Amino acid sequence: MTSPRPTSRVLSPSDTAGYVFFIVVGVAIAVWAVVRSVANIVAAIPNRNVRVPMPFVDTAAQAPIGPAGAPVPIELTGGVVTAPSLPAPSLWALFLAEGLFAAVVVTVVTLLLLVTTSVLRGRIFSRRQTVLVSTAGIVALAGVAGVPFFHNMVANGAIAWLSERTYDRGTVSQIDLPSFIGVAFVVALVGTVFAVGDRLQRDTEGLV
């Protein structure tokens, strides 16, 4: 009886090089995320002159972009504010945001690298691959929702601190809904593709 055929076609040298490059880039991204988050946490620990990225909604400002640098009214949608200090809850929210960002990036990269190494071994579709891809997507969704949530706590705390709680226009919503929906759609689509691919592959192997 003929033995089952390999679960995927042999990768060409260019395919292999592409996946190896993906691994190198993935490791670089994970290292960058950790270094970035650690640097931001270390910079914020003294709680002095903390730089806080801050989104705004319908906030008027002046920019020196008119003739001879004359101020021109603009609508501010984002900026960076240097807060002399942050209230304790906002400072801890900053630590959580940075820690979550690094954890999400490292986890997603690790899971996708596991998928890539399986592909390099000739196994594209399997239940393990489907679980890895789906888990990476769920973790990415958690990051898309969680990191902005904590960053908004930081921004709101900085605004309250700077304005002595007199600023009442608020910031943007805690979750960027379009981004969340987009990531959720991609996660569902990729998970479905791997699940269907795994099922078709097992059905095909059963015919050999």
Q: What is the mean pLDDT of residues 68-83?
A: 81
CA distances from 196 to 27, 54, 134, 201, 205 (A): 29, 42, 13, 8, 14
pLDDT in tens, 156-201: 888 878 877 776 655 545 555 556 566 666 666 666 666 666 666 6
Q: What is the pLDDT of residue 112?
A: 87
SS3 58: strand
Total-model pTM: 0.77
The pLDDT of residue 177: 54
Instruction: Copy the structure tokens of residue 76.
Output: 């501010």
- For residue 53, pLDDT beyond 90: no
Q: What is the mean pLDDT of the chain?
A: 78
- Residue 19: HSE in the Cβ half-sphere, 13 Å Cα cutoff: 17
H or E stretch at 134: helix 127-163
